[in-house]
Chain A
Amino acid sequence: MTGTIRNRDTFLTEIATRLGREPKLNVQKPVWKHQPQRAVLKDASADELLEVLRNQCLQIHTDLIETKLADLPKTLAEAVKLYGGGPLSLWKDERFDKYGLTNLIENEWPAENIEVNSWDTTLGEKNIELAEQANIGITFSDMTLAESGTVVLLSSSDKGRSVSLLPTNYIAIIPKSTLVPRITQAADLIREKIDNGEQVPSCINFITGPSNSADIEMNLVIGVHGPVKAAYIIVNDC
Chain B
Amino acid sequence: MAMKFSTKNFTDRTKDNISDDFMRKAVAGAQERLHGRRLDAAEELGNWEEWRSHGEEIRQHVLENLDFYLHQLSENVAERGGRVFFAKTAEEASVYIRDVVEKKEGKKVVKSKSMVTEEINLNSVLEEAGCEVIETDLGEYILQVDDHDPPSHIVAPALHKNRDQIRDVFAEKLDYNKTSKPEELALHAREKLRKEFLAADIGITGCNFAIAETGSISLVTNEGNARLVSALPKTQITVMGMERVVPSFEEFEVLVSLLTRSAVGQKLTSYVTALTGPRGEGDVDGPEEFHLVIVDNGRSEILGTEFQSVLQCIRCAACVNVCPVYRHIGGHSYGSIYSGPIGAVLSPLLGGYDDFKELPYASTLCGACTDACPVKIPLHELLHQHRQVIVEEEGRAPISERLAMKAFGIGASSNPLYSMGAKVASTAMRPLTKNDRISKGPGPLKEWTDLREFPAVGNQRFRDWFYDQKGGK
CB < 8 Å neighbour of A37 from B159, B223, B253: B253
Per-residue CB proximity of B241-277 to A under 8 Å, as 1/0? 0100001111011101100000010111111111111
Instruction: Please determine whether A203 and B300 come into contact, CB atoms closer than 8 angstroms.
Output: no
Instruction: Please determine whether A3 and B82 come into contact, CB atoms closer than 8 angstroms.
Output: yes
Instruction: Please determine whether A29 and B247 come into contact, CB atoms closer than 8 angstroms.
Output: yes
Known: A202-B286, A206-B271, A225-B190. A165 touches B225 (CB 8 A): no
Closest to B260 in A: A148
Q: How far is the CB of A55 from chain B (nearest CB, A)?
A: 11
User: Is A150 among interface residues, defined by CB-CB distance under 8 A?
Assistant: yes
User: Is A42 among interface residues, defined by CB-CB distance under 8 A?
Assistant: no
Known: A20-B304, A132-B198, A209-B270. A216 touches B250 (CB 8 A): no
Per-residue CB proximity of B357-376 to A under 8 Å, as 1/0? 00000000000000000000
Instruction: Please determine whether A224 and B186 come into contact, CB atoms closer than 8 angstroms.
Output: yes
Residues of B within 8 A of A148 (CB): 266-268
Residues of A within 8 A of B272 (CB): 150, 205-206, 208
Instruction: Please determine whether A32 and B58 come into contact, CB atoms closer than 8 angstroms.
Output: yes
Residues of A within 8 A of B278 (CB): 202
Instruction: Please determine whether A165 and B85 come into contact, CB atoms closer than 8 angstroms.
Output: no
Instruction: Choose, from A73-81, A105-113, A155-163, A171-179, the stretch at the interface.
Output: A155-163
Instruction: Please determine whether A15 and B222 come into contact, CB atoms closer than 8 angstroms.
Output: no
CB < 8 Å neighbour of A5 from B65, B74, B156, B286: B74
Closest to A2 in B: B78
Q: Give Cα distance in the complex from A113 to B302, angstroms.
A: 63
Interface size on B, residues (CB 8 A): 110
Instruction: Please determine whether B253 and A12 come into contact, CB atoms closer than 8 angstroms.
Output: no
Per-residue CB proximity of B15-44 to A under 8 Å, as 1/0? 000000000001001100100000000000
Per-residue CB proximity of B273-289 to A under 8 Å, as 1/0? 11111111111111000
For chain A, residues 105 to 147, give those with C-beta under 8 angstroms from any C-beta of chain B.
Answer: 119, 121, 123-125, 127-128, 132, 145, 147
Per-residue CB proximity of A176-207 to B under 8 Å, as 1/0? 00000011101110110010000111111111
User: Is B69 among interface residues, defined by CB-CB distance under 8 A?
Assistant: yes
Q: How far is the CB of B114 from chain A (nearest CB, A)?
A: 16
Closest to B136 in A: A225
User: Is A211 among interface residues, defined by CB-CB distance under 8 A?
Assistant: yes
User: Is B176 among interface residues, defined by CB-CB distance under 8 A?
Assistant: no
Closest to B78 in A: A3
Known: A183-B256, A204-B273. A216 touches B138 (CB 8 A): yes
Known: A6-B86, A12-B70, A36-B50. A165 touches B231 (CB 8 A): yes
CB < 8 Å neighbour of A218 from B29, B61, B75, B303: B29
Instruction: Please determine whether B74 and A37 come into contact, CB atoms closer than 8 angstroms.
Output: no
Residues of B within 8 A of A219 (CB): 163, 182
Closest to B282 in A: A157
Q: Give Cα distance in the complex from A97 to B211, angstroms.
A: 35
Instruction: Please determine whether B300 and A217 come into contact, CB atoms closer than 8 angstroms.
Output: no
User: Is B139 among interface residues, defined by CB-CB distance under 8 A?
Assistant: yes
Instruction: Please determine whether B284 and A187 come into contact, CB atoms closer than 8 angstroms.
Output: no
Instruction: Please determine whether B276 and A201 come into contact, CB atoms closer than 8 angstroms.
Output: yes
Residues of A within 8 A of B30 (CB): 218
Instruction: Please determine whether A11 and B138 come into contact, CB atoms closer than 8 angstroms.
Output: no
CB < 8 Å neighbour of B269 from A25, A119, A208, A225: A208
User: Is B235 among interface residues, defined by CB-CB distance under 8 A?
Assistant: no
Instruction: Please determine whether A218 and B80 come into contact, CB atoms closer than 8 angstroms.
Output: no
Instruction: Please determine whether B268 and A11 come into contact, CB atoms closer than 8 angstroms.
Output: no
Residues of B within 8 A of A7 (CB): 85-88, 92
Q: Give Cα distance in the complex from A201 to B155, angstroms.
A: 29
Interface size on A, residues (CB 8 A): 91
Residues of A within 8 A of B159 (CB): 218
Q: How far is the CB of A188 from chain B (nearest CB, A)?
A: 8
Instruction: Please determine whether A37 and B227 come into contact, CB atoms closer than 8 angstroms.
Output: no
Known: A127-B285, A208-B269, A216-B163. A33 touches B53 (CB 8 A): yes
Residues of A within 8 A of B138 (CB): 213, 215-216, 224
Instruction: Please determine whether B280 and A157 come into contact, CB atoms closer than 8 angstroms.
Output: yes
Q: Give Cα distance in the complex from A149 to B303, angstroms.
A: 38
Residues of A within 8 A of B344 (CB): none
User: Is B392 among interface residues, defined by CB-CB distance under 8 A?
Assistant: no
Residues of B within 8 A of A5 (CB): 74-75, 77-78, 83-84, 86
Residues of A within 8 A of B163 (CB): 216-217, 219
Q: Give Cα distance in the complex from A40 to B41, angstroms.
A: 14
Instruction: Please determine whether A210 and B232 come into contact, CB atoms closer than 8 angstroms.
Output: no
Residues of A within 8 A of B399 (CB): none
Known: A165-B224, A215-B137. A8 touches B71 (CB 8 A): yes
Q: Give Cα distance in the complex from A16 to B71, angstroms.
A: 12
Residues of A within 8 A of B64 (CB): 19
Residues of B within 8 A of A200 (CB): 214, 216, 274, 276
Q: How far is the CB of B65 from chain A (nearest CB, A)?
A: 5
Residues of A within 8 A of B214 (CB): 190, 194, 200
User: Is A51 among interface residues, defined by CB-CB distance under 8 A?
Assistant: no
Interface centre among B190, B198, B224 (most CB of A within 10 A): B224
User: Is A214 among interface residues, defined by CB-CB distance under 8 A?
Assistant: yes
User: Is B457 among interface residues, defined by CB-CB distance under 8 A?
Assistant: no
Closest to A158 in B: B282
Q: Give Cα distance in the complex from A225 to B222, angstroms.
A: 9
Instruction: Please determine whether B280 and A156 come into contact, CB atoms closer than 8 angstroms.
Output: yes
Residues of A within 8 A of B270 (CB): 60, 207-212, 226
User: Is B183 among interface residues, defined by CB-CB distance under 8 A?
Assistant: yes
Instruction: Please determine whether A216 and B77 come into contact, CB atoms closer than 8 angstroms.
Output: no
User: Is A223 among interface residues, defined by CB-CB distance under 8 A?
Assistant: yes
Known: A183-B257, A226-B224. A191 touches B249 (CB 8 A): yes
Instruction: Please determine whether B86 and A36 come into contact, CB atoms closer than 8 angstroms.
Output: no
User: Is B422 among interface residues, defined by CB-CB distance under 8 A?
Assistant: no
Jot down 15 A-B pairs with beta carbons below 8 A, ordered by A. A12-B67, A14-B300, A18-B300, A25-B68, A32-B54, A33-B53, A155-B280, A161-B286, A165-B228, A183-B257, A190-B249, A202-B276, A210-B270, A215-B137, A225-B225
- B-side residues, CB < 8 A to A, are 26, 29-30, 33, 45, 47, 50-51, 53-54, 57-58, 61, 64-71, 74-75, 77-88, 92, 136-139, 142, 156-159, 162-163, 166, 182-183, 185-187, 189-190, 193-194, 197-198, 213-214, 216, 222-225, 227-228, 230-232, 242, 247-250, 252-254, 256-257, 264, 266-286, 290, 294, 296, 300-301, 303-304
New contact pairs (9) apart from A3-B78, A33-B54, CB-CB < 8 Å: A7-B86, A7-B87, A12-B86, A128-B285, A165-B228, A206-B271, A215-B139, A216-B186, A219-B163
